Each structure stands twice: as structure tokens, then as C-alpha cells.
A and B are shown apart, each in its own frame.
Chain A
């Protein structure tokens, strides 16, 4: 499903070139639960941005569902993100003025789905994360764990090929974090492909496979 070969990313800072990714190779199959791990500055965020189609590599190939995405235009990448990828962020990134339901409806709006269908799908996604009774609440009226569950519902509502979770428990206490990780575990058990980005070993160990990045290269890639 994901096939990355010799992926490189370099930033030009003044006269210097900073190579953040120095040639990454891996494949992820449908249904896998993979953690990408590494200390800060290792390049794991850059890697996540590239495989999340938020950024393009300087060199190398990235095939998503057998389609080369490394050289796609901005608008095409927007469409790929909309259809293939669901994001869950560390800081939830919900629109503060909108209700949970409206937040979950947002990606469907960009997919051009009509309002009734959007509402139906968003309701289902919220019920799936046990927030059926919080649909009309705004983010400020919800706990961190609830907000993150709204974000997960938003990631799932488009029925994406991959769910990306970037430090999803980073802003939560341990117990709430565990609840969130349980949701990912359940999603995985239902066949959802999940990529978890984290710097915590306990979180990474939740996944079935850990890819450890250090200094722009894969240090190890192992099955738990």
C-alpha cells in the first residue's frame, strides 16, 4: 500500500544544505499498525509529512496505492489527502467555533458531499468513537480525551486508506492516552491501516511494527 524507496529530503538554509532524510526505504501493507519512532530532530516529522502528502520529497519515490505521489501538484495532493488519509494531531486541531459534528463534517465538505450525507456520515463516525451524546458540543466544552476522539472521528469519516496519528497521546494524561490507544487498537482489529508517530517507547509498543528513525536513516525496522 505504501512503498517508499530511497526517499530524501533536504532543506536549503542560506548557503548550507541540510539533509533531513538521507535515503529511506520501507513498505507498509494494508491493515498494518506501524509506529514510526525516533528522537526529536531525527527526521520522523519530515517523513510523516511526506507520507502524509503534506510535503514532497527532494528525491526518491513514494507510491501510495501504486500511484506515484512524490511529483504531484498541490491540488492533486489535496485530493489525495482528502480521500486517502485521515490525520490525528497531538493538539487535536479542532475548529474552536464549530461543534463536534461540524468539525467531523469538514473533510466531507471538501470532498464535495452534500450536506445531508455529510451529517449522516459524521454522526456515524462520532457514534463509532462513543461521542453520540456530544455532537453539538464545542471543543471548549469537552475534555482533552473527548476532543481527541472527535479528531479521530474526523479522520475516519472519509473512510481513508491510512490513519496518521502524530503523537496522539502527547497532550493527554496517561489514562486518557490509554483510552485513545485502545480506540486505535480496535480500529486496527477492524482492518484499518494505522501509522503512529511517537517518541515514546510505550506508545510505539502498542503497534505491531516499529520503524526507528535516527539522523535521517532507518536504524531498525522490527515486528513487535
Chain B
């Protein structure tokens, strides 16, 4: 008997029990959907991460204050402040660019609309280090900072947050914690990556931020950008030398600041994401296995239910192999249907999450092929036993089965 006839008769029997078939494949659907969604999200997140890192360039190092939990020997948590950045700036060993960063969330008002957004205070170098480009208007300069000028550069989506247009904001005043700031520029859309979304931030000159908004010289981090010809390690050593001197750290004492190189952070992040996704895929595989057992269970029920039909088919001349094939194909088709529904469901979930998270889209072809063929394999594996049971039924006995 040709295989396409086995397939069409398997489809007939699945169609005859639509609801039961769908319920049977539920675990397969969930498993496949999870695999597809997770793998796609994983590669999407990875891509977003890679993009944001490459924006920064591998040539950027960040310095952060140490969190106090590390201070077994030094109990006071020494923060970074603007003086540290100035000390780095004065050091001429490496021709680096320094951009201190002072940030915090503040209420922004424009007209009757208001929103809570991240304020970033830094110097003009910040934009070139981060690779942010001006879209409309101008960036602030060193003079604006020294004179504590109330000017602001906005991320491309700030206008959305304030329910207005960039055009309406440009050259007008927004209120940051009830202080008026003139919007002088708007940067191009950067897209979110890892960390806060640069498009939803407001950038102001460093001293303006420290004096007029935050009232502190404590900074969150220092961006250090260095020329290609220097190695990351030697730049890190230079930073350490300057800051240890600045913080008066004696020989043998631990640093009270943390130097982060993006490459390292990237590796760490990659590792964390891959562990997370491996875990999810593991769970999804278990779900597929459980799904397979469900399919086997239903196939066994189906064999029992159709004992007379099997007896009849045998009486009419079906061989063991024909019956075996019919039931195996039915199990495989059940699992494949589950797999396909799972792929569609998983893709929808992924699409929605990627849209919401503003991730770059990827097409998880390998995951789709992989999970669909895996579900077919599950069907084959868990279909064999019920199919063998059907095939080995004695026709005389099966025909009399009530």
C-alpha cells in the first residue's frame, strides 16, 4: 500500500477526533512554542547586545564605584566623583577621552504632560564615545557646562513620552524637577540594547546636572575611550594607577572602584544568557518528552478503541506492517501538527516580545527545523509501542471485541 494512502487514512482518523487530537498535542505545542520563542528571543537579545557593544566600541572601558558589600576591610563606601574624572583627564600617559556620567531619574514636564525619565549629565565627549549622533539642533559644549547653562539634548523618543513631537520640543523649555531647561538638540534614534534605552534619556551638561539637578559631585561612572593602538589591559592598569593615587590607596589594599571592560562584560552577559536559554530549552525538551508520552497514551487508547477496525482491516488483507505503518504515521502526524502549531505560536510570542523590547528581528530557522523534526522523532519513538500493539492483534479476536 503506498505511503500517501497511509498518510491520508491517518489524517482521516485525526480529523475524526479533532478535539482529542488537539488536547493530545498540547504538550508538544507548548514544548515547541517554548523552544522557538526562547531560541529566537535568545538570538535576538544576543544581536541587540552585540549591536550596543559595537556601538560603544570595544575601545571603551567604564569605571564604577565599588559596591559596599566588597568592603570587608574598608567599611566606608567611597564613591567616584568629578575630581576622579578630572584626575584621569590630567594624566597624559594614554591619550584617552574621558566622559564622567551622573544619572538619575527625574520628573520631566512639558506643557501639561509629565513623565519620569533618566537624566544623564556628562560632557560633550560622551556623545562621541557612545556613538550618539545629533539629529536636530546642536549638542551642548564645554562652556555650557562650566556656566551651568540650563540646556538639554533629548533622546529621540522623549517626545513620545511627553506626548508631543520633537519639533514642538526643540528650542522650547522642558521642566526638569520644576526647573526650566531649553531643548537645544535631539539625537538620532539609537535603539535599545543592553541597559537603559538611550532614546528615552535626557542629556544635560555635567556641571549643570551636578549643581542644578542632583546637587552632588558624585558620579555613577566614568567612560574611558582610548585609541586602537593601546591594549585594554594597559589602559586598565593606567586607570588603576591614577585612581589609586587619587583615592590614597596604599600598597596591598584593595581598589575601591571597579573597572569594567565591555568585552569582559559582554562575555559574562553572553554566558549568562546562554545558560538561561539552555535551561529553558532543557525544560522545553522535557515538555516535548511529556508530550510524547501523552501522544503514546492517546495512541494506546485509540488502538483499544479501534480494535474491531484493526481486526476488520486485517480480515480484509492488511498485513502487520500496513497496520504498524498506519499507527506510526498517525502518531508522527499528530506530533508534527503539534510541532507546526507550536512553531506558529512560538513565533507569535517571539514577535510580540521582540516588538515590545525593541529587539532586532531574527528568523529562527534552525530552531524551527530542529523542533519540528524533534517532534516528528518524538512521534516515531512514542508511536512504535502502540502501533506494534495494534499490528500484533489477532484478527479473529479483534473482530469480536466489543
The verdict on A55 contacting chain B, using a C-beta distance below 8 Å, is: yes
A83 to B12, CA, bound (A): 26
B312–A112 touching, CB < 8 Å: no
A57 at interface by CB-CB < 8 Å: no
Segment 301-351 of B: residues with Cβ below 8 Å from A:
308-309, 312-322
Interface of B is mostly: helix
> Chain A, 62-100, contact with B by CB distance < 8 Å: what is the 0/1 string?
000000000000110011011100010100010101100
Q: Which A residues are CB-close (under 8 A) to B5?
A: 109
Q: A-B contact count, CB below 8 Å?
A: 59
Q: Contact check, A55 vs B316: say whether CB atoms are below 8 A apart.
A: no
Top 8 A-B residue pairs of the complex, sorted by shortest distance between their CB atoms? A82-B317, A110-B317, A54-B396, A49-B396, A107-B316, A78-B319, A55-B396, A75-B319
Q: Is B1 an interface residue (CB 8 A)?
A: yes
- Given known contacts A54-B395, A54-B399, A106 and B320 CB-to-CB distance under 8 angstroms: no
Give which listed residue, B1, B308, B316, B396, contacts A154 with CB less than 8 A.
Answer: B316
A13 CA / B13 CA spacing, docked (Å): 36
B316 A81 Cβ-Cβ under 8 A: yes
Nearest CB of B to A186, in Å: 23
Shortest CB-to-CB span from B390 to chain A, Å, is: 14
**In this assembly, does A111 line the interface, its C-beta being within 8 Å of a C-beta of chain B?**
yes
Min CB–CB distance B349 → chain A (angstroms): 35
Whether B319 contacts A74 by the Cβ 8 Å rule is yes
> Looking at the complex, which one of A52, A89, A93, A107 makes contact with B317 (CB distance below 8 Å)?
A107
Interchain CB contact under 8 A, B1 and A82: no
Q: Assuming the A-B contacts A93-B308, A95-B309, A97-B12, are A110 and B396 also in contact, with contact meaning beta carbons closer than 8 angstroms in the complex?
A: no
Please indicate the chain A residues that have their CB under 8 angstroms from the CB of B72 in the complex. none
A92, closest chain B residue (CB): B312
Given the interface pairs A93-B312, A97-B16, A109-B5, the reply to whether A83 lies near B399 with Cβ below 8 Å is no
Whole-angstrom CA separation of A75 from B320 in the bound complex? 7
Q: How far is the CA of A158 from the CA of B316 in the complex (A)?
A: 10
